[in-house]
Amino acid sequence: AQTVTQSQPEMSVQEAETVTLSCTYDTSESNYYLFWYKQPPSRQMILVIRQEAYKQQNATENRFSVNFQKAAKSFSLKISDSQLGDTAMYFCAFMKQEGAQKLVFGQGTRLTINP
């Protein structure tokens, strides 16, 4: 079974700073996807970024980028020039490429951006 671990329950940074959220996972699969989702206080889950395991290049989406280390089974999220609207719970998630399309989530990191 796959597991996803987020070791930082809470983080807090000042606006405009850069912050990195950690995620590690455990799997015996070779092909899979990794995701970061954001859940603001309004509760709508929003996809932040997606990474295919077969791609060595790290995914980027504007101010959001990942550091994907497949051998280490690590998938961290970097938020550059953080904004107040980035305040949210951030969940790391894993999905096998083959078979059941099941997302396995980490426990989440509560990120607060302070003015």
78 binds another protein (CB under 8 A): no
| 68 lines the binding site for another protein (CB under 8 A) | no
101 is a contact residue toward another protein (CB under 8 A): yes
The amino acid sitting at 58 is N
Q: Based on CB atoms, which residue is closest to another protein, 82 or 106?
A: 106
- C-alpha torsion sign, points 9, 10, 16, 18: negative
- Calpha distance 14→55 (Å, rounded): 32
Residues 44, 57, 71, 99: which binds another protein (CB under 8 A)?
44
Q: What is the dihedral of CA 112, 7, 60, 53, to 10 degrees?
A: -160
**Residue 108 near another protein by CB under 8 A:** yes
Nearer CB in complex with another protein: 34/113: 34
Q: Count other Cβ atoms within 10 Å, centred on residue 48.
A: 21
Given candidates 43, 72, 85, 99, which one binds another protein under the rule CB under 8 A? 43
